[in-house]
Amino acid sequence: MTKFKGYACLISDTQGIIIPKEVLAKAWEEYLKKGDLTVTLNFDPKKPVGKIIPEFCTVDDKGLLVTVETNYAKGLGTNGLCNSSEYNEKDRTQVVKSLELFEVSIVERPLKGYEACKIEEVKEVEPGT
């Protein structure tokens, strides 16, 4: 198995979407309470390819930095629901006020605007460590 670290979600993307750090942190905390740490391929629940290692995950000033154990490593992404947001006419940005995360997925290539959601670090690990 390979353990890798990368950003699954960004606080600010190139498409004008802004998720404040505290909103993303709350969504991540609620996601972890669900207990399903499965990582899928391209958001397909029929294709589990790994698991999240929560003790090595954090929300920092860039976004949601996750550590995943898998044999398949490409890019990362999250799937969720924006419960509320506000459009800022001046900056032409959409600021997310409330977010629910459904999953973390390994993707063949990140969506437009999320090119920074890439693998940051890769380590070979013994199974189960």
pLDDT per residue over 71-114, tens digit each?
766 667 777 888 898 988 888 888 889 988 888 777 766 555 55
**How far is Cα 83 from Cα 97, in angstroms, rounded to an integer?**
8
Nearest Cα residue to 37 out of 50, 24, 56:
50
pLDDT of 73? 63
pLDDT per residue over 22-63, tens digit each?
999 999 999 999 999 998 888 888 988 889 999 999 999 999
Q: Residue 20 class from Cβ within 10 Å (0-12 exposed, 13-18 middle, 19+ buried)?
A: middle
| Angle 53-4-40 from CA coordinates, rounded to 5° | 65
